[in-house]
Structure 1
Amino acid sequence: MFRMVACPLLLIALGLVGFIISQSLWPSQGSAVPAGAYPVLEYQNLVDMGEREWGALAIARFSLANRGNRELLLNQFRTNCSCSALQTETDGKLQPAEEIRLGPHQRTCLVLRVSVRGPVGEPMLNVVHFRTNDPAQPHGALTAKVARIRGGVETFPAVVAFGAVLEGDECRRTVEVRDRSSVARRVVAVQSSNPELLEVNLLPLLTEAQTEQQPSEGALIGRIEAAVNTAKAAPIEGTIHITLDDPQKPPLKIDVHGRILPVVEFTPSVVVLPRRSAQGWSHSAEVRCRNARGMPLGLHLQEVPAELAARIESSNDDPSSCTLRIECRPDLIDQLGASRRLVLKLRARTGDAERELTIPILWRKQEVSHERERMESANWLQPD
């Protein structure tokens, strides 16, 4: 009897709780809500950002407030363009807008960031739709308007990627600067952030028939040559700064990336001794040497530390490679101490060029004792 009565009562209670929650969050216009006991959304639905340049980042701020006596809920934000993003601003920090709750008489600010795109000379509208629990306006919309898109300046390519290049190889790239504005500006200066590695110069302009880009990309206002000094192996990192004859336009920046690889490759590039082998600890090592261009490699020892012995063994099958064998001299091992940094110097001939090369050698005797202690503690090696 108790179970028969309890089940209907439980269902009634659950239904009542669900009804109360739904009315508190999403009261319908026909529900019996006491006068003034509901959220009231008040907001600025349009921000005119004036004229903006093509490709620029425009920011619109919208103020929203709850003038009602219940919590206001805003969610399901949807933009009409992937070029825009809606964010909340709290204490100067921006976060993606997903769900916003405002208590009675509270307000907040939403930030819409827009990447200006579209036909030059035309307006641009970005609209964000959202849902509210205000019974008088269950749906809302924020509109950011660009009154007119001005022509912008772009570079082709946007980033200069040299990739991997070898020492001594010629390495140049050409960058085009184009302007979509009705009155084209001019490039007046270019500068490299790392002039010792990256040299930049202005080139004469070409006719449209001589260029690779389409006229729709804007008028050609500048050509820049970027050349890398490949004298030695190093990362290629830098920035090209482009100054226009428009004082209101900040300098354009183009990132430059790549890497200069050595012509002679050493594997491994750093030798650590002693090293662990299947037969135990070894005081010798082999370094594979190869000419990256595939040409015959002439390698000669120039300076060997007194504590080491080294020899070069040529390969009969591959004249572009050889093997460098390094070992510690047994009678001088004690002079190396617990830790030591040594450098072995060589001279290499690759084609018509000669270059000096070095191989770092790290001696770490302390690592042997640490490894031995670990093995002894695990009963892998019995103490002497």
Structure 2
Amino acid sequence: MRLTYALYLVIPLLVGGAVFAIKSAVSGHAQRQMGVGPIIQCPSEVEMGEHELGETAENRFTLRNAGSKPLKIFNVRTNCSCSGLERVEDAKYSRLESTELAPGQTIDLAIRVGVKGGLGRAVKNQIAFETNDPAYPEFVITATINKVTSGICASPTSVLLDTLVVGQRAAADVDLFDYMVPPRRIERVECVGAEGMTAKLLPAQAAAPAGAGDNDAVDVPVGRVHIEFEARKVGPIEGMLLIYVVGETKAPNGIPVVGRVTQPVQVTPDTLVLPVVTAAGPRYISEVQCRAAANTPIEVTVSQKVDGLVVVATPTNETRLVWTVTVSDNSPADRRSAKTARRVVTLTVREGQKSFDIQLPVILAQE
């Protein structure tokens, strides 16, 4: 009797629950047909075309509430940290986590995906979120990158020329590889952003670099670039080697070329201030060091006298790679300026057959 009584209770509950679920689903689709309640209109599949490994693929679309009641979007999530659902307003992107659309309202959305995966293959990313649309309690958008390709890669990926002195030359080689099958051809190379830099495209001369060729692809040597640089002026080297590929209209691949150019002699400090404040009182004498940037002896002399200043240059040791320049203010106390003044000492540096001048500012501070 107890078993029979329990069955009488359980069976109606099961049947009732199933009927309720069926009625809810039918009710949701019926509401969509009549335009009643919240109704989501949004693509469930988005194709993003072919993209290179490491690029950011993007596709924009709209999401609309076609119903008569507010549509709620919440609990947005993705199957990969490389992708996300973003709202686009005034050309600005913001990550969408939840939102609510009034009846008839439309918003602009974008999916951006950092391209990963096997080269030559299609890659799918899914973005899911919950809604209060009875027909779609969970909505899934599948974003497909139709094919992952690769740009020309380089070894090394950047060229470091270190520190050069004016007049010095440097050279470097960059090997180029391609993962495409068949491999693409290099049309030309170009140097920009650095005066004195030239590049020449040569036939491929290297095997694949260690670590290249991952992602089930074969990396094929497609060329070598020989770079030459002549240091012409002091300052940072901020060049770029541009690689143009036959048949491609997009922006060329860029390989940074960096370094620094200095004078053959480094002056430390590059400015003197007199007097020097000490615990014993002001001192009207100070010094700088002139150090040869290359391992070549130099000779430092004072080109012209400066009124009120005594300037003496002497080698620090027998190698004559470092010189000490002493500057003292011997002006009488009553002739020293009542306000800050600036003087310039000109030093002539000789290195072998070459010579050049260095300007050393001296600030005479107000006492």
Deviation at 1:90, TM superposition (A): 0.2
Partner of 2:122: 123
CA distance in structure 1 between the aligned counterparts of 2:253 and 2:338, rounded to whole angstroms: 55
- The verdict on how the C-alpha distance between 1:362 and 1:349 changes in structure 2, with shifts beyond 3 A counting, is closer
AA matched with 2:359? I
Unpaired runs of 5+ residues, structure 1, are 1-28, 370-384
Partner of 1:363: 363
TM-score w.r.t. the length of structure 1 is 0.72
CA distance in structure 2 between the aligned counterparts of 1:172 and 1:96, rounded to whole angstroms: 46
- The verdict on how the C-alpha distance between 1:292 and 1:247 changes in structure 2, with shifts beyond 3 A counting, is closer
Deviation at 1:202, TM superposition (A): 1.4
Number of residue pairs the alignment of both structures matches: 334
CA distance in structure 2 between the aligned counterparts of 1:212 and 1:223, rounded to whole angstroms: 17
Query: Do the aligned partners of 1:178 and 1:217 also contact (CA within 8 Å) in 2?
Result: no
Deviation at 1:236, TM superposition (A): 0.3
CA distance in structure 1 between the aligned counterparts of 2:300 and 2:266, rounded to whole angstroms: 12
Partner of 1:219: 220
AA matched with 1:311? V
Partner of 2:249: 248
Query: Do the aligned partners of 2:194 and 2:237 also contact (CA within 8 Å) in 1?
Result: no
- The verdict on how the C-alpha distance between 1:85 and 1:359 changes in structure 2, with shifts beyond 3 A counting, is farther
CA distance in structure 2 between the aligned counterparts of 1:232 and 1:117, rounded to whole angstroms: 42
CA distance in structure 1 between the aligned counterparts of 2:109 and 2:318, rounded to whole angstroms: 70
Partner of 2:325: 324
Deviation at 1:195, TM superposition (A): 5.5
- The verdict on how the C-alpha distance between 1:93 and 1:347 changes in structure 2, with shifts beyond 3 A counting, is same
CA distance in structure 2 between the aligned counterparts of 1:248 and 1:314, rounded to whole angstroms: 59
Partner of 2:348: 347
Deviation at 1:235, TM superposition (A): 0.7
- The verdict on how the C-alpha distance between 1:323 and 1:59 changes in structure 2, with shifts beyond 3 A counting, is same
CA distance in structure 1 between the aligned counterparts of 2:204 and 2:183, rounded to whole angstroms: 14
Deviation at 1:72, TM superposition (A): 3.7
Deviation at 1:86, TM superposition (A): 3.6
Query: Do the aligned partners of 1:273 and 1:361 also contact (CA within 8 Å) in 2?
Result: no
Deviation at 1:295, TM superposition (A): 5.9
- The verdict on how the C-alpha distance between 1:336 and 1:53 changes in structure 2, with shifts beyond 3 A counting, is same
Q: What are the equivalent positions in structure 2 for 1:184-223 lying under 5 Å apart?
A: 184-194=183-193, 196-206=195-205, 208=207, 214=212, 216=217, 218-223=219-224
Partner of 1:289: 290
Q: What are the equivalent positions in structure 2 for 1:23-34 lying under 5 Å apart?
A: none
SS of equivalent to 1:250: coil
- The verdict on how the C-alpha distance between 1:332 and 1:182 changes in structure 2, with shifts beyond 3 A counting, is farther
Unpaired runs of 5+ residues, structure 2, are 1-23, 26-30
Partner of 2:10: none
Partner of 2:139: 140
SS of equivalent to 1:303: coil
- The verdict on how the C-alpha distance between 1:281 and 1:122 changes in structure 2, with shifts beyond 3 A counting, is same
AA matched with 1:289? C
Query: Do the aligned partners of 1:271 and 1:359 also contact (CA within 8 Å) in 2?
Result: no
- The verdict on how the C-alpha distance between 1:242 and 1:59 changes in structure 2, with shifts beyond 3 A counting, is same
Deviation at 1:330, TM superposition (A): 0.8
- The verdict on how the C-alpha distance between 1:346 and 1:45 changes in structure 2, with shifts beyond 3 A counting, is same
TM-score w.r.t. the length of structure 2 is 0.75
Deviation at 1:107, TM superposition (A): 1.8
Partner of 2:6: none
CA distance in structure 2 between the aligned counterparts of 1:281 and 1:104, rounded to whole angstroms: 81
Runs of 4+ in structure 1 deviating by more than 6 angstroms, as ranges, are none
CA distance in structure 2 between the aligned counterparts of 1:334 and 1:96, rounded to whole angstroms: 69
AA matched with 2:189? V
Deviation at 1:315, TM superposition (A): 3.0
CA distance in structure 1 between the aligned counterparts of 2:353 and 2:96, rounded to whole angstroms: 61
AA matched with 1:227? E
SS of equivalent to 1:114: strand
- The verdict on how the C-alpha distance between 1:271 and 1:74 changes in structure 2, with shifts beyond 3 A counting, is farther
Partner of 1:259: 260
- The verdict on how the C-alpha distance between 1:126 and 1:165 changes in structure 2, with shifts beyond 3 A counting, is farther
Q: What are the equivalent positions in structure 2 for 1:1-384 lying under 5 Å apart?
A: 39-167=38-166, 169-194=168-193, 196-206=195-205, 208=207, 214=212, 216=217, 218-293=219-294, 297-316=298-317, 320-330=321-331, 338=339, 341-349=342-350, 352=352, 354-363=354-363, 365=365, 368=366
Query: Do the aligned partners of 1:299 and 1:347 also contact (CA within 8 Å) in 2?
Result: yes
RMSD: 3.6
